[in-house]
Each structure stands twice: as C-alpha cells, then as structure tokens.
C-alpha cells in the first residue's frame, strides 16, 4: 500500500469529462488519466469539487474512480466529503476496495470552534475506519472553516490514519512554516503537505517546505516541472517557468469560472472531447474564451506546450 | 395523488428510531408512524434534519421512507436535500416510486442573491422532474439563506410543481401575511403554508393564515389540537393549550439539544424503545433530563397527556 | 468602585428613547432610568444593540450614558463594541470618567478560531486600559462567533479586568454548568454570569448557576421577581410567574421586531412618550400590535402589572 | 466640484503612515500624498480598510483626510463605512466640509437579500445627504455581501448621488461587461467603474470597460502606466508591464499580509519612515521579507523602478 505520508510531487485534481449531453465520457476520462501520468504526476485526486463530484450519483462516482485506479498505475486519492458519515462511509468502502490510496475529507461549513473541527475529523476517521488513510482539506475560502496550525496538529496527532494535508489556506505560507516547525520540534508526526489553491503560490510553497501540489491547472506538466526544479535547487528557473504561466494560473483560479477555463484548454490540448459541464454549470463567454486564447499565446512565448495553434472556427 | 397545495393540519417531522447500537429500529419506527396517525396528523415528513437523514445511507433512507409510506395511509413528504442534484434525483425517484406525496428541498447555504435562490429551485425542479410536487424549506436560522416573500413568489410562480412552503423563518409572522396577501391580489398561486421552528409561534401563525404545522414536538397531538381549535374559532382555548406546553416547546426547540429531548419524551411516552441517536449525536445530561421531567410535570397540570408517571430508576 | 465579579440580580438592557422626529428624548430616558431602579434592577446596561447604539453619534452616546449614570445610583455597564479599538478606547475613556461601572465588548463577526477570539479580547483589554472592568458578550446567534467554555476561561484567566459574562448562547444551559464547574475545580476565577437572550431561559439559567439576567423585556420587574424567587428557593412560584409571561417574552424576543414590541409596551406602561425608533427602524403592523395587546391581556390574568387598560384610539 | 461619474485612471488606496510607537506620522503621510500625485494618480482614496481606518479615532480620521485634501490637489474619496448611520453622517459632514470629492460606503456584512442591500444604500444616501457623491464598494470576499449587476443598477438608478462603483468582486470580469451593457441599453445611467482587488485582474478589467483602478499596490506608478497604455491601445505592452509585476501583485494581495508587504516596500522606496501598523497589526517574518526582496529583484529586470538596491542590515 502507498505510504501517503511521504508523497511528493504533483497530485493532479482531475476534472470529470462529460459528453455534451451530460453523460460521463469514459474515453476522455481515460485520456485524462493517461495525460496526467505522462505529465509526470505522482498521483491523481478524483471526485473533488473541481471533479463536479456532487453532480455524480453514487454508482457513477465509484465507477469513475475505479476506472481511473485501474488505469493510472499511480496512487489515487478520492474525495469523499459528504453531508453525513453514512454516505462518506459507503463511498470510502467502495473506492478503497477498488484500490484507492486514500480519501480526502473537507470539513462541513457549519464548524466553528477548534474543538468542533477536531471532533469532526475524529468522527470521520471512525466512520470510514481507522485503517483508511485520509487527507485533510484545509480550504477556508471555500468552506468558511478556519483551522489554525495547532488544530491541524491536534488532528494529525489524534488520528494515526491522517497522512496528508491538502493545504489551500490563503494566505498560507506562514502556515506551512508553522507545520514544518511542529515536525521539527517533534510535536507533530511527519505528514505530506501538498498545496492547492490553483497553484497560485506554488513557487513559494515549495520553498516553505511543501512536498508539492495537489491542484488542478490546464498545464499540470508545468506544476510538475516547477516542483522538480525546486527540488533540484534551480530556484530562478522554477520561478521563470512559474511566472510565465502565472497570468493564466490566476485567470484559471477564478472561482466558478475556473473549471470552464480548465476544460476549455484541456479540450484545446486534445484531451477532452467536450468542454461541457454537467448541469448546472457555467460556460465561458466568447470574450472570456478570447482572453484565455490571448493568455495562451503569451505563455507560449516561454513554454511551447502552450502553443495550441489557431482556434478552429466553431 | 394527494394535492399538497391544499394540505392543512399537522405534518409531523418524524425522527428516526435507532437501537442503542445504532441500527435502525423498525418496530419503533412503526410505532412512531402509528402514533402520528392516531395523534391526528394529516401527514408525515420523513428524512428531514431532525430525522438524522445525513446519518443514513441511500438504502436505509429509501427503506425507512417506503416502510412509513406503506404503513401510514396519510401523505408522506420526504426530505431530499443534498449537496448535488444527482443524489437528490436518485432519492426522489426512489421515494416517489414508493408512493411519497412529494419531496422537500432546502437551499444549500452557499446561496446569497435572490437570483441564485430562484435559479437553484428551478434547477432542482428540473433535476427531480417537473411532475414531482416539492416543498420549499425556508429556514434561515439553520441554512443562512434568506428568502424574501418576493423570492418565494418567484419560485412558486416559476415552478408549477411547487406546492407548499415549510415556513420556518424567524421572525416570520409578517411573512405569512405578505404571502397570503400575494395570493389575495392574484400575484401568486395558492400554496399550502405549514410552519416549522418547533411550533414556537404556531398560535399566531395559524391566525396569520398558515394552514398548520410541519414540525416536530414530543406532543404532536397538542399541535393537532391547537390547529383544530383555531380552525373552529376557539381562540382562547387554543392559546390556553398552547401556552401550557410553551415552556416545554421552548425547551425542545433548542438547536442540537432538541432532538435528544424529543426522543427522551417519546421514549417516556412508550413509543421509542431507545432514545439513542446514531453517532455522532448528543445526549442529555442528568440535569437536563430532570429539567424536562419537571417541565412535563408542569404541563401535566393542564394536559393529562403529559402525565407520564414517575421516572423509572435507571 | 463596584465589584462586578459579584454582581447579581438584573441588569436591564436599556432602550434609548427618541422623540417621533428622531431626537433623543431625555425626559423619557430619565423615566426609564427611574423605572428600572424602582423595578428592583441591580444595574443597567446602556448603549447595547437594543439601545440603538450604532444610530447615536459619539457625543450623544456619552451624553446618554453619563446622564443615566448620574441619575440611577446603581451600577451602569456601557456597551462599547466598535469596529476598531480607537473608537472603543475613546468611548470607554469618556464613560469611565463619567462613572460607569464597566464596559461590555462583543466580538466582531469576522473571528473564527479559538485563538483569534482570545487574542481579540486581549487586544481590547489593552486598548481600553487594564484597569477598566469589562464584560464579555457571548451571543453567537447575532455575532456568528462561537466561544466554547474553554475559550471563555482563557479570556477570564488572561485578563484580570474581565469581570462578567453576558451569556446569551443558545442553547446555553450546559455552558453555564461547565463554567461554574471550572470555578469549582479552581481552573477559572469567579465571575458574574448574567443571562441575555430576552430572558427566554431565565428560569433554568438561574437554576444552573447564573447570577441573574442582563437583558431587556418590557417587564423587567418580572425578571427581578423570578431571580429573587429563585434565590429564595421558591422554585414553583418562580416558574409560575415566568411561564405566565413566557408567551410575551417569546414574542418580544423576535429579532428585529423585539425592540418595537418593547417600546410599544413601555409606552403603554407610561414610561416612554413615543415608541419611535431612530431611522432606520422597524415599526409594528396593526396586526402585530393587536397580538401584543392580546398577549398582555392574557398575562394580566396572572400578573396585574400587565393590565394596561384598554388601548386608546389613535 | 469634481464629477466622479467620469473619473478615470487610478485612485490609489492610501495606507496611513504611523511612527513605530503608533502615532500618526504626518510627514510620511505628506510624502505618500506627493508620491501618489507624482505617480500619476488621478485621485486618492483615504480611510479605507487598507488605511487602517478602524484604528483611528474620529479626530484623527478627519485630520488625516483633511490634510491630504489640502495637499493633494487631486480628488480625494473618503471611506466612511460605519456600523451605524450616525457615525457615517458625522464623518461625511466633516470630510465634505474639508473638500472631499465624495465618500465610499461598504455594505455591513449582515445584509443578505437584494432588497436589504438596496434599502441599505437608500438609507445611507439619506443619512449622509442627497448632495454627497458616494461610491459603492462591492467586495464580497471581504464583506460576504453579494450584489448582482441588477442590484447595483437598482442602487445607481435610485440614488442620483451614486457616482461610482469600486468593483472588487471576484471573479468579476463578466460583471463589468454586464454593467456596461446596462449603460449601453439605457437601463442604467453612466457611472465610473474603478477596480480594486489589489489590481490582480486590472489588465482585463480595463479591456472589459472599467475606467481604471481604485486599489493599493506598492507601485501605483505601474497601475497608472497599465491603465494609460490600455487607453492608448498598447495592449501587449500593457500586459508585458502588468505581467512583470504580477508575481508581486499576487504576493501583496494576500489578505492580512498585504498591508505589511505594501508598507515594507513603500519604506524601501523611501516614502514611509516606518512600516509600522498601529496595533493590532501583523508584521512580516524574515522569510516573508526575503521573499518580497526576491520578487522585487525579479520585477526589476523588467521595470527599473523596482530596483531598490540592497537591503540595509537592520
């Protein structure tokens, strides 16, 4: 079994491919899987928010995750956040049976106090089973739940099956430093810290001690390169590549719009057959599409992978 | 098929009975069903928040609702609120097949603007099917979503399958008056308005034009009597009975604690075999238990149904 | 100087009297002050939310508080909550100079984590001066800030000038028990706990160990009696009186509507010349007014103080 | 009097300079004023959140704003957001007397429905006086109040004194397009739209029809250049300059940390004598400081203004 506590590199957050009519597009999902592997991802996270997970029913969720697990050959983390522990437990059991490396759990947005947050993860860990490795998703901007470094330490220390932090607090650089400080002073056991938030601070997150990224971006190959260059000590080169993409990273990181941008570019890269989101979903206006095309052309001056040729007439 | 737009009286919010070990207690659920019918309920609402719905998996949910539908012989409304439309659609299809009279949908607590709320209900109605009668749950205290009377009217007018409002805004008396005013001036089609919020304002809600209650309380028979007395024009008598129960109604309406109180009293009334909640759930402290017993003894001076005898030693 | 840590009884939350045209009505405010003292209040809290404090400018605030301090002869606590410490410091200095017994501070609704809440009170205590006695206002329903008993203990222990808790968590009975438990086990120094929330749970709050009430209600004399009867061991009598008022207490405790109800009844009791709120403020509809009159007539069957005679034609 | 409805260019959000001991630093504030004017700003906005306004008392606020108004010679907008209309009215009167061009009003974070937001601005406009030009601050990320384009239109149309939108919704590009569409179809009168949000999307905001920026950044001269280049039709050049700064813009736009970064850079640029924030305020860790220095050195490769020389030893 994969030891996620030492996970490094990039776990790509996978979108879910649909046909224009809303059916799951298995061929495109397969291409996505292959593309992530070829891009150098060390893992994939499926059924996250960006995967349109709430629009999938239980059967579809298990089917998509299982197919990806079988195909990928790299560790798959599955998002199992749910309004209640019953659904969380059922989905976890199914995907762990199918070979998932672990599951990711976001806090419900009703949690307020430190104790409520710590209690929630204890209950979740008990519900899914103490042997199932789980990832804390710390994303206050989206969930309105604020976890201090001390609260994360309490969760990590109380639950042997807590193996990783998906760090997407904002701002969050000092939080990484604080958590790594806890490990250093022996007050917290080592876990993997992979960063989300669309990669907007990946350059410095690595320098602060993060193990890499767990996020989506239409160029996961760029994320992989940045993490690698950092590991190799090529600081300036890592920033040069990152900065070249930053205007597009920023554009794609817009809440709500972001997934539409990502699917649009992944279609232009030839990986998705359709950029459709299952309903209800937001599309891009022609103006937004043109803005993305312009950004791609600018990125392409530095990174040829962004040179996707002329847009075909619709 | 039941026409819920003309529903009156009391739709009791059903808790879900569990054994001490967390398994669903079918015998107790059957007794609950019978008890609600004998209490004069005109309907039952199952799988609401107070029914611990999020702690049930899909199979359990459908099983509990179906069993109640078969047994009750009165209309059953089923809570189908979910973080995504896929789960909402699956559960709705299953319970409507089983004979439910309609479904109840709460807004996700991320909605803010009027248009977002209206759009959400349009999408939900489309997802579950335009032929499925649905109830709007308007409960800002719990969901942080505030619907003006005008927004409710927009939802009602845009969706022919919107048949009822579970009104639990607080304060909410003027809202009932405003909505009935809309019907009177012809700008909104007639719907049933049943009130929740633990019944804390049921006395005046009826006088403002509500059709009755959709809520839980350990004495649904009292709620039935109050609504009936109001309909018969016995204003003082309705208030006398209501006021006698109000200290306990208020105690039971405490968020979080309320369900524990309700199950405790329902056990004392001989209907539930256990007051257990499925984990995670809150219990009553001995002090709280004694407070409830004291309140029962006080209610019993006016209403013999609350005379539950001495508490047995544990 | 008053030692607020041992305060008992009822600190009435004072509304601010205005003329119909929005000017402060000093004569009515004087009558209010006298009325509270005659009702047996042990203290008064002024410039709280229910005092329409945000509608007063600095000069008016100081003037109203100072006048009440001079006139009352009982301890006055002044609400000084503000979006920043500069305004809090200025107002505190002015009212302490005028002879206030202490100030009350509510947490800004942006606070989330335990540490943020504790830090906020430390900063506030430093800003107003370590010698100024202050009251924590714990009112999650209104402020969206949730303080565990442990957080309150941290604030109390860290700040010698923290002398009192205005407890209006809901539900909150177990919280009182927990805090009194902390005092008993020596982990928290003794403070006064006075309860708010419109008095909706005052009966049991006293039994749990609260020292009394700090809240508003159109019959503060009833609150005084209930606290006194409890102290004298007259449990049933205390509940009898409380329960007779409970239908009106509940009605008056509605957010937004409550102040209009209170001013209406205080006008009917002959204390306020006008029930006007400074703009923007909500008034009562004729229907609501009639409901309050009906409730008064029902309370009057038990408590003659509620017999306010027939309503004069407008 | 300045007609703010046609305002263009950059209104810089001014920080407030303090001495290390927390006193207002008038000399530095004067240098800031001069620097903004020399940088090409068309206006300045003072007493905003980034100006640490809540930490200033009334007298300080009026003094700082008045001094800047006298000195600048360009229009000054003053933030007057307050928890109540009394304080808002007093501050507005004082700064308008002193010669302010208008005031900026943010919505209190308790507003939820469309009607509540519209009513709030009507009340505010009445409170400050119908002749005082005001700016809507639309910043959902910070205030949790979401205004649709339709709501903004209702405010603009209902209040002749509404002259400008400080647009900092995120994402917000389509909102600019929608509002400009309203003007085009004649359903909304023309107003100025200046964009905030740290300038993170300024490149495309201009292209969507914004009139410029109202935001802070340690290089307001860059913001001025980008808006100017856009106006001159130099699209690529505008993006080239913007992109060169984007890594630092992004770093400075972190909530909480941002102001510390800005003051640090402004001190390094020789404008502020101290980077101190009045208490409570966050400082930069040595690591964060080094990160900013590294970013400056990278920006300087493209824009010499960012070449601030070596950091002096502390």
Q: Is C282 left (phi over 0), alpha (psi -120 to 50) or beta?
A: beta
How many angstroms separate the CA of residue C112 from the nearest CA in chain A? 6
Which residue in A174, A246, A287 is closest to D247 by CB distance?
A246
Question: What is residue C281's predicted lDDT score, i.e. its pLDDT?
Answer: 86
- Which residue in D has a C-alpha nearest to residue A245's C-alpha? D243
Asked if C85 lies within 8 A of D279 by C-beta distance, the reply is yes
Total number of residues shown for chain B: 314
- Taking Cα atoms as reference points, which of D219, D271, D276 lies closest to residue D18? D276
Contacts of C39 (CB under 8 A, 6+ apart): C12, C220, C221, C224
* D307: number of Cβ within 10 Å: 11
ipTM over 0.95 threshold? yes
Query: Tokens 């008053």 sit at which residue?
Result: C2
Contacts of B106 (CB under 8 A, 6+ apart): B49, B79, B81, B137, B139, B143
Q: Which CATH code fits B4-233?
A: 3.20.20.70
Asked if A291 lies within 8 A of D204 by C-beta distance, the reply is yes
Question: What is residue D313's predicted lDDT score, i.e. its pLDDT?
Answer: 54
Size of interface B-D (CB pairs under 8 A): 26
Contacts of C275 (CB under 8 A, 6+ apart): C260, C263, C264, C266, C267, C283
Which residue in A55, A84, A85 is closest to B86 by CB distance?
A55
CA–CA gap between residue B18 and residue B20 (Å, rounded): 6
Helix (H, G, I), strand (E, B), or coil: what is residue B120? helix
Q: How does pLDDT run across B120-176, given as a tens digit for each residue?
A: 999 999 999 999 999 999 999 999 999 999 999 999 999 999 999 999 999 999 999
Q: How does pLDDT run across D134-161, given as a tens digit for each residue?
A: 999 999 999 999 999 999 999 999 999 9
Which residue in C177, C246, C257 is closest to B247 by CB distance?
C246
Which chain D positions have a beta carbon within 8 Å of A177's beta carbon?
A: 285, 287
Which chain A positions have a beta carbon within 8 Å of D291's beta carbon?
A: 173, 204, 207
Question: What is residue B256's predicted lDDT score, i.e. its pLDDT?
Answer: 86
Asked if A285 lies within 8 A of D174 by C-beta distance, the reply is yes
The band of B76, judged by pLDDT with boundaries at 50, 70 and 90, is very high
Residues of chain A with pLDDT under 50: 314
Which two structure tokens, joined as six digits, stand for B153? 């009217």
* A281: number of Cβ within 10 Å: 16
DSSP assigned state of A138: E
* Chains contacting A (3+ CB pairs below 8 angstroms): B, C, D
- Taking Cα atoms as reference points, which of D221, D216, D165, D214 lies closest to residue D188? D165
- C-proximal residues of D, 88-117, CB under 8 Å: 89-90, 109-110
- Taking Cα atoms as reference points, which of D9, D8, D12, D10 lies closest to residue D266? D12
Question: What is residue C310's predicted lDDT score, i.e. its pLDDT?
Answer: 79
> Is some CB atom of chain D closer than 8 A to the CB atom of C282?
no
Average pLDDT over residues C134-159: 96
Q: Is C52 left (phi over 0), alpha (psi -120 to 50) or beta?
A: left
Helices C114-128 and C149-158: crossing angle in degrees, nearest 10, is 30
How many angstroms separate the CA of residue A175 from the nearest CA in chain C? 14
Which chain A positions have a beta carbon within 8 Å of C139's beta carbon?
A: none
- Which residue in D has a C-alpha nearest to residue A258's C-alpha? D171
Which residue in C115, C145, C148 is closest to A115 by CB distance?
C148
Q: How does pLDDT run across C231-266, given as a tens digit for each residue?
A: 999 999 999 999 999 999 999 999 889 999 999 999
> What is the pLDDT of chain B when averaged over all its residues?
96
**Best interface-test mutation with D: which of A203, A205, A258, A299 has the largest number of D CBs within 10 A?**
A203
Size of interface A-B (CB pairs under 8 A): 60
Which chain B positions have a beta carbon within 8 Å of C257's beta carbon?
A: 171
How many angstroms separate the CA of residue D74 from the nearest CA in chain C? 28
Asked if C83 lies within 8 A of D85 by C-beta distance, the reply is no
> Is some CB atom of chain B closer than 8 A to the CB atom of C3?
no
Whether D214 and D197 have beta carbons less than 8 Å apart is answered as no
Which chain D positions have a beta carbon within 8 Å of A289's beta carbon?
A: none
- A-proximal residues of B, 22-51, CB under 8 Å: none
Which residue in C57, C83, C84 is closest to D86 by CB distance?
C57
Cα–Cα separations (whole angstroms), residue A149 to A71, A114, A212, D283: 36, 11, 18, 18
pTM: 0.96
Which chain B positions have a beta carbon within 8 Å of C302's beta carbon?
A: none
Asked if A250 lies within 8 A of D291 by C-beta distance, the reply is no
Question: What is residue C269's predicted lDDT score, i.e. its pLDDT?
Answer: 97
DSSP assigned state of D5: G
CA–CA gap between residue B182 and residue C221 (Å, rounded): 42
> Is some CB atom of chain C closer than 8 A to the CB atom of B178?
no
Whether D134 and D34 have beta carbons less than 8 Å apart is answered as no
Q: How does pLDDT run across B239-277, given as a tens digit for each residue?
A: 999 999 999 999 999 988 999 999 999 999 999 999 999
Asked if C150 lies within 8 A of A112 by C-beta distance, the reply is no
Which chain B positions have a beta carbon within 8 Å of C255's beta carbon?
A: 170-171
Whether A164 and A192 have beta carbons less than 8 Å apart is answered as yes
* Chains contacting C (3+ CB pairs below 8 angstroms): A, B, D
- Which residue in D has a C-alpha nearest to residue C123's C-alpha? D280
Q: What φ, ψ does residue B143 adopt, rounded to 5°? A: -100, -10
Size of interface B-C (CB pairs under 8 A): 60
Q: Judge whether residue B216 has pLDDT over 70.
A: yes
How many angstroms separate the CA of residue A107 from the nearest CA in chain C? 14
> What is the pLDDT of chain D when averaged over all its residues?
96
- Which residue in A has a C-alpha nearest to residue C140's C-alpha? A112
- Which residue in C has a C-alpha nearest to residue D60's C-alpha? C86
Q: Looking at beta carbons, which pairs linking B254-257 to residues 24 or more positions away fall under 8 Å?
A: B254/C170, B254/C171, B255/B141, B255/B142, B255/C170, B255/C171, B256/B282, B256/C171, B257/B282, B257/B284, B257/B288, B257/C171
Q: Judge whether residue B312 has pLDDT over 80.
A: no
Question: What is residue A312's predicted lDDT score, i.e. its pLDDT?
Answer: 66
CA–CA gap between residue D264 and residue D284 (Å, rounded): 8
Q: What is the largest CA-CA distance in chain C?
A: 59
Q: Judge whether residue C83 has pLDDT over 90.
A: no
Question: What is residue C256's predicted lDDT score, i.e. its pLDDT?
Answer: 86
The band of C312, judged by pLDDT with boundaries at 50, 70 and 90, is low
How many angstroms separate the CA of residue C109 from the nearest CA in chain D? 9
CA–CA gap between residue A34 and residue A32 (Å, rounded): 5
Which chain B positions have a beta carbon within 8 Å of A60's beta carbon?
A: 86
- Burial annotation D17-31 (CB, 10 A radius, 16+ → b, else e): bbeeeeebbeebbeb
Asked if A112 lies within 8 A of C115 by C-beta distance, the reply is no
């Amino acid at each position: 079994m994969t030891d996620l506590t030492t996970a490094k590199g990039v776990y790509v957050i996978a979108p879910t491919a649909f046909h224009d009519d809303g059916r799951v597009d298995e061929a495109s999902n397969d291409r996505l899987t292959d593309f992530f592997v070829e891009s150098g991802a060390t893992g994939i996270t499926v059924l996250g928010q960006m995967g349109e997970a709430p629009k999938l029913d239980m059967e579809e969720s298990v089917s998509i995750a299982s197919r990806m697990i079988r195909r990928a050959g790299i560790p798959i983390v599955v998002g199992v956040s749910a309004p209640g522990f019953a659904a969380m437990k059922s989905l976890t059991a199914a995907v762990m049976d199918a070979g998932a490396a672990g599951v990711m759990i976001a806090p419900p947005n009703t949690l307020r106090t430190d104790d409520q947050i710590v209690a929630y993860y204890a209950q979740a860990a008990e519900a899914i089973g103490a042997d199932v490795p789980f990832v804390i998703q710390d994303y206050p901007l989206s969930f309105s739940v604020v976890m201090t470094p001390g609260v994360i330490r309490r969760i990590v220390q109380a639950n042997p099956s807590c193996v990783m932090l998906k760090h997407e607090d904002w701002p969050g650089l000092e939080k990484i430093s604080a958590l790594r400080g806890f490990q250093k002073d022996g007050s917290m056991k080592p876990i993997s810290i992979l960063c989300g938030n669309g990669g907007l601070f990946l350059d410095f997150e690595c320098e602060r001690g993060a193990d890499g990224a767990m996020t989506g971006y239409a160029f996961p190959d760029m994320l992989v390169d940045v993490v690698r260059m950092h590991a190799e000590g090529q600081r300036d080169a890592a920033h040069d590549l990152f900065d070249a993409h930053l205007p597009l990273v920023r554009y794609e990181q817009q809440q709500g719009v972001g997934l539409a941008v990502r699917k649009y570019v992944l279609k232009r890269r030839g990986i998705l057959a359709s950029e459709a989101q299952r309903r209800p979903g937001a599309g891009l206006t022609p103006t937004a599409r043109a803005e993305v095309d312009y950004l791609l052309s600018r990125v392409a001056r530095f990174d040829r992978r962004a040179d996707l040729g002329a847009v075909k007439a619709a």
